[in-house]
Structure 1
Amino acid sequence: MAFFKRELSPIERFESALRDKQAVRQKMAERLSTAETLLVEQRTAAERLAVAGASNAQLDRAEAKLRTVEERAKMLRAELVEFDEQIVSTERALADAKAQRDRDMAADEIEGLAAAIEQAAPGFGAGAAALVDAVTKSTASIPEATRFSASVDALRREVLAAADLICWELRSAAVRTRAGNANLVLAPPTPEHVPLPEIERQLVYTLNPLLWREGSEVRRVPAFAMVALPKMLLPVALRHQHVDYLNARRVQTLIHVHGSGGFDGDLPADAPQLVDLDALTAEEREKKESAQADVA
């Protein structure tokens, strides 16, 4: 019967190598200690002979023995210093391997989260689609039900787009985490404002600084931010390339560059290059009415 030995992980290999080196170092330290003791004895003996007035031949032999022991101790000290450097290098490699293991575990968890969202998203989409079908396939025509169906369908598209986006962000974060150049904690993106119930909104990503009005309130938002834009302004903003949907490819790239955080607050009134969406809408309306009048 053939037996196969399990391949050691990098951490296990470094730990084993470190244990072996530490055992070897212990033996080297013991040899050095013995040599140092012998060196002291030889120095004492040479000193005793010199003080006692020993012959030149005796002193020559004592000095020769002393030099031999000194060279031996010097060599052992140098070897021990060099071996200590090897141990430090192995300890550093072990620490790096453990850090990589921790990064890999964190990246695996992030990728698992992305996979879980991907698996759950179709179920949400199917459930929302079933609600929409329940209304659209009914022979009864109730305005409240129709509005409910439209809201659910819009929410379904928005959530599925957001799910695609967050999965892309999570996998990008996993790659950066595995490479060791990302924080392990991901801050979830926060929409620019909680949508007001009386205003239908669409979560989009701004490409330019924007301005619009909601009643008496003037809203100002910067470029490259996730905002809930009133749907009545969405067509003109899309036509003029001032916003784009969250699942657009260029938006994913811009989020990678600028981040996906929402914008909480308003820009100052004198912020440069603000695009007035209300004015843009009014201008398009005037052009359309003028064209219709010319035709008439």
Structure 2
Amino acid sequence: MRGGIAMAFFKRELFMRELGPIERFENALKEKLAARQKLAERLSVAESELAEKRTAAERLAVAGAANARLDRAEAAMRAVEDRTKTMRAELLEFDEQVASAERALADAKAQRDRDALADQIEAMAAAIERAAPGFDGGATALVEAVTKSAMSIPEATRFSSNVDAVRREVLAAADLICWELRSAAVRTRAGNANLASIALSEAEQPPSAEIDRQLIYTLHPLLWREGDEVRKVPAFALVGLPKALLPVALQHQHVDHLNARRVQTLMHLHGSAGLNGEPEHDDPQLVDLDALLAEETPSAQADVA
């Protein structure tokens, strides 16, 4: 008999170990709710019995029953009353245990959702890493088609140089974004990132197609105008800067290319979303690139003259 009980207990423990956290918490919650329901039913019966005992004791007292009968009635009533109080206290404990089990189940479900989201982020990083060599090979083949040719044509040489620059920049950006994605996955698993409502910041909005842009990393908060719109981006952000503003921004070291060594360090330290959101218009560190370009243009014209 004992061997059968021990075997049943062992099988139950083995079954519980094979279940995932959510299933274990769900089973524990079901057991707590079932036990609470049984106790609540017992308490209801005891309260009904207590009401009957009180009514009987009241009738005996009103009828002037002998002291012995009153003592017995009171003793029976107190016994049921004590049992009822005990069950009420147990019911309160069950309520606390049920609430604790519900919280544990909710936490387990939230962790499952975070893990699933983190897995998707890591899968994205892995897909980028798998695709990068193909891009590198294709770009390298384009460059070699020009550099390995016996003929030298300026247009082809410029094309080759531009492709090689883009190749280096894209590969550097791929390394950085993979690092950021994996960091985000770690934060997501730990519950330190709110990725359920991820939205692109102002600095990361897709650039309009009619403006020729260069993907660049900001070193200071910047401001420029695109028609009637004023664009403001924080420091340490990945942005599509209009190419017309790129030379002056690079010259004054307000931005730098993604494959620059210091940019890789800053990306690891601050990421690519910028610090403290969009800068205020009166921020003393805010650099007006349009004004800076206007200052540089007369100087360049004077040099030509």
TM over 0.5: yes
Partner of 1:140: helix, strand, or coil?
Answer: coil
Q: What residue number does 1:249 align with?
A: 264
C-alpha distance in structure 2 between counterparts of 1:156 and 1:54, whole Å: 105
Verify the 8 A CA contact 2:139 2:167 in the aligned structure 1.
Answer: yes
Q: 1:48 to 1:211 in 2, by over 3 A?
A: closer
SS in 2 for 1:258: coil
TM-score (norm 2): 0.74
**1:96 to partner: Cα distance:** 0.8
Distance 2:245 2:109 in 1: 54
Indicate the residue corresponding to 1:230 in structure 2: 243
Structure 1 residues 219-256: Cα deviation after superposition (integer angstroms, max 9, x where no partner):
9865524233538954x754643212224224313435
What CA distance in whole angstroms lies between the structure 2 residues aligned with 1:77 and 1:281?
85
CA distance in 2, matches of 1:255, 1:194: 26
Aligned counterpart, 1:292 = none
Pairing of 1:129-168 with structure 2 (within 5 A)? 129-168=140-179
Q: Is residue 258 from structure 1 mapped to residue 274 from structure 2 by the alignment?
A: yes
Q: Does the Cα contact within 8 Å between 1:158 and 1:203 map onto a contact in 2? A: no
| Pair 1:208 & 2:197 matched | no
Q: What residue ranges of structure 1 are gaps of 5+ in the alignment?
A: 290-296
1:278 is displaced (CA, Å) by 6.6
Instruction: Give the conservation status (yes or no) of the 8 Å contact 1:205–1:251.
Output: no
Matches of 2:112 and 2:299 in 1, distance apart? 59
Provide closer, same or farther for how the CA distance between residues 222 and 93 of structure 1 changes in structure 2, counting only shifts above 3 A: closer
| Residues 263-274 of structure 1: pairs in structure 2 closer than 5 A | 273-274=287-288
Taking a change above 3 Å as real, the CA distance of residues 272 and 164 of structure 1, as seen in their structure-2 partners, is closer
Matched to 1:251, the amino acid is: L
Pair 1:91–1:211, CA change in 2 (3 A): closer
What displacement does 1:281 show? 8.5
In 2 relative to 1, CA 136–211 (structure 1 residues): closer, same or farther, beyond 3 Å?
Answer: farther
From 35, 42, 56, the equivalent of 2:53 is 42
Structure 2 CA distance for aligned equivalents of residues 22 and 182 of structure 1: 33
71, 95, 99: which one pairs with 1:60? 71
Residue correspondence of structure 1 range 1-296 to structure 2 within 5 A: 6-180=17-191, 181-187=193-199, 189-190=204-205, 194=209, 196=211, 202-209=214-221, 222-224=233-235, 225=237, 226-228=239-241, 230=243, 234=247, 237-238=249-250, 240-247=252-259, 248-252=263-267, 253-255=269-271, 258=274, 273-274=287-288, 276=292, 279=295
Deviation at 1:17, TM superposition (A): 1.3
Q: CA RMSD in A?
A: 3.8
Alpha-carbon distance, 1:122 to partner: 1.2
Provide the secondary structure at the position in 1 that maps to 2:194: coil
May I ask how many residue pairs the two structures share in their alignment? Answer: 276
In structure 2, the gaps of 5 or more residues are: 1-10
* Aligned-pair CA distance for 1:166: 2.1
Instruction: Write out per-residue CA displacement over residues 11-33 of structure 1, whole angstroms, 9 at most, x where no aligned residue.
Output: 12211211221222122122212
Helix, strand or coil at the partner of 1:204:
strand
TM-score relative to the length of structure 1: 0.76
Deviations 1:274-296 (A, max 9, x none): 46257569869999x9xxxxxxx
